[in-house]
């Protein structure tokens, strides 16, 4: 699926709605808490019809495997994998020297490592690019995938014997055919967990075909990875001290095994849409893909549902959007700034003065907190147009007066500071507002007599205020 987002044509669609057929990027999806277990991601819903969305974003989000080859080689160096590799390699080398028991140890450790490699492939194919956890259930108690692989190879060997018996030289074509499609066989085995399907050429051949030239490129890299341990031993390991050679030879074999299985799993993930392999959004974790914003979403569930209003507005359904936002606004103890912003704009379009002013009182503090000072000024003026006596809370009014003063509108700032003092004489910023009045009169409007009168009045009225010393000092040194 390579459709673009309905509302952002330049963005790839990561979600599709089976009900209305629209595709959406992550920004446009409505996220809802669906009673999920702790630690899981919220559910994604269509902003158009409010139906559960199907995630198809892995193919659009992931870079091609040939662009991240270095990460495949770094994968086994994750602390969990590296410690496991060192521990198993050490046990295999040391205990492998014991007669009879040594053979059992080497076979056992190979089974365990192959089982973990299968878990790497399976986890990667599901969309989790972090190494899977280590557990007895995975490594020891459930060796079914490993046994299925050996049985798969056994059946392929039996097939080679039957072909050789019946057709002689055709066995070479059979072997070549099998060797080319071995990765596809493993992909089918992992994705379906079925030996019968894995052996069916009507399944594994089309799978490789749907991946296309990338399958051949993956096959080429797998050949290199398969040859790498032997080449490493012959060119590097043999020149190292003797006691290190067995350890590094075994470690190299398991290292490249993990890299190879991780690569196969990633290709299965990258082409899961073409293959028809389902990848769930809940399982997707990619350290090198900028898709770990779930924590941010969960921290702001109020904003996430406003995307539904965006969809309604962009489709011209203004009355529905107004009703939706109005219900959200009424239900919220402290309405979010984005909710207030959208609701305020729609109310302006409708011309509902009383509700516009009520929402404006909530919107102004939020905008100030976000540093949108010019937007605050615009909202304040729009509220005044509907009610000339409109005043926000004292803290917001003080900051609005500052905005006007900084803009050179000193008389307007003077009036706003005065209104703050008149309406909130006991507020913590009332004395500071009067001090600002005196400062504007003296410094901006060049009226020192009026400034002295205002400042002396505030000293007399608030003799215990912490600003008293500062005001007296200003009167003594700055006011003529």
What pLDDT does residue 291 have? 46
Rounded mean pLDDT of 235-240?
A: 88
Q: Is the pLDDT of residue 289 over 60?
A: no
Pick 244 or 12 by higher pLDDT.
244
- How far apart are alpha carbons 72 and 395 in whole angstroms? 55
Helix (H) or strand (E) holding 45: strand 43-45
Q: Is the pLDDT of residue 34 over 70?
A: no
Quote the Cα angle for 90-92-97, to 5°.
105
What pLDDT does residue 339 have? 87
pLDDT tens digits for 372-427?
999 999 999 999 999 999 999 999 999 999 999 999 999 999 999 999 999 999 89
pLDDT tens digits for 299-313?
444 334 556 677 677
Long-range contacts of 130-138 (CB under 8 A, 24+ apart): 130/78, 130/285, 130/287, 131/75, 131/78, 131/80, 131/81, 133/80, 134/80, 134/84
Mean pLDDT comparison of 134-143, 231-240, 302-311, highest-scoring range: 231-240
Pick 138 or 464 by higher pLDDT.
464
Q: Is the pLDDT of residue 14 over 90?
A: no
- How far apart are alpha carbons 389 and 361 in whole angstroms? 13
Q: Is the pLDDT of residue 430 over 60?
A: yes
Compute φ and ψ for 9, nearest 5 degrees.
-60, -20
What pLDDT does residue 321 have? 83
Q: Is 421 exposed, middle or buried (0-12, 13-18, 19+ CB in 10 A)?
A: buried
Least confident segment among 128-142, 214-228, 352-366, 415-429: 128-142
% of the chain at pLDDT higher than 90: 37
pLDDT tens digits for 166-208?
877 788 898 999 899 999 998 888 878 888 888 899 998 999 9
Closest CA to 4 of 21, 17, 23, 18: 23
What pLDDT does residue 305 have? 53
Q: In the 8-state DSSP scheme, what is residue 65? A: G
- The mean pLDDT of the chain is 84
Edge to edge, the sheet with strand 54-55 lists 23-24, 15-16, 54-55
Q: Is the pLDDT of residue 160 over 90?
A: no
Assess contact for 91 and 105: CB atoms under 8 A: yes
pLDDT class of 164 with cuts at 50, 70, 90 = confident
What pLDDT does residue 288 have? 60
Q: Is the pLDDT of residue 138 over 70?
A: no
Helix (H) or strand (E) holding 392: none
pLDDT tens digits for 35-90?
554 455 667 888 778 788 877 766 667 788 898 899 999 999 999 899 999 999 99
């Amino acid at each position: 699926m390579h459709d673009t987002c309905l509302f952002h044509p330049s963005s790839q669609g990561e979600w599709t709605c089976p009900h209305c057929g629209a595709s959406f990027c992550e920004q446009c999806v409505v996220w809802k808490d669906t009673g999920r277990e702790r630690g899981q991601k919220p559910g994604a819903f269509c902003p158009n019809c409010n139906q559960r969305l199907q995630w198809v974003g892995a193919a659009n989000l992931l870079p091609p495997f040939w662009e991240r080859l270095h990460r495949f080689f770094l994968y086994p160096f994750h602390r969990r994998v590296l410690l496991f590799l060192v521990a198993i390699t050490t046990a295999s080398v040391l205990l492998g020297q014991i007669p009879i028991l040594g053979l059992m140890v080497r076979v056992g450790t190979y089974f365990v490592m192959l089982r973990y490699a299968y878990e790497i492939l399976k986890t990667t194919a599901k969309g989790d690019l972090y190494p899977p956890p280590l557990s007895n259930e995975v490594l020891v108690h459930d060796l079914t995938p490993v046994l299925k692989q050996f049985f798969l190879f056994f059946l392929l060997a039996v097939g080679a014997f039957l072909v050789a018996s019946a057709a002689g030289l055709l066995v070479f074509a059979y072997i070549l055919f099998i060797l080319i499609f071995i990765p596809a066989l493993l992909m089918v085995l992992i994705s379906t967990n079925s030996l019968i399907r894995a052996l069916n050429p009507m399944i594994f051949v089309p799978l490789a075909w749907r991946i296309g030239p990338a399958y051949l490129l993956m096959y080429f890299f797998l050949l290199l990875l398969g040859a790498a341990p032997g080449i490493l031993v012959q060119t590097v390991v043999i020149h190292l001290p003797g006691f290190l050679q067995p350890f590094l030879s075994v470690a190299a074999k398991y290292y490249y095994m993990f890299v190879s299985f991780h690569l196969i799993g990633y290709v299965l993930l990258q082409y899961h849409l073409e293959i028809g392999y389902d990848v769930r959004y809940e399982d997707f974790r990619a350290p090198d893909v900028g898709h770990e914003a779930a924590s941010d979403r969960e921290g702001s569930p109020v904003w996430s549902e406003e995307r539904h209003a965006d969809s309604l507005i962009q489709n011209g359904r203004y009355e529905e959007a107004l009703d939706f936002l109005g219900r959200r606004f009424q239900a919220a103890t402290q309405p979010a700034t984005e909710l207030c912003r959208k609701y305020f704009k729609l109310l302006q379009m409708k011309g509902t003065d009383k509700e516009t002013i009520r929402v404006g009182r909530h919107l102004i503090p939020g905008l100030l907190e976000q540093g949108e000072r010019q937007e605050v000024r615009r909202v304040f003026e729009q509220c005044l147009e509907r009610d000339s006596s409109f005043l926000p809370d004292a803290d917001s009014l003080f900051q609005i007066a500052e905005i006007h003063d900084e803009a050179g509108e000193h008389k307007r700032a003077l009036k706003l500071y005065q209104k703050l003092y008149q309406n909130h004489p006991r507020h913590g910023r009332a004395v500071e507002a009067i001090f600002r009045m005196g400062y504007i009169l003296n410094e901006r409007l060049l009226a020192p007599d009026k400034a002295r009168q205002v400042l002396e009045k505030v000293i007399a009225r608030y003799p215990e205020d912490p600003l008293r010393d500062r005001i007296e000092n200003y009167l003594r040194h700055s006011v003529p």
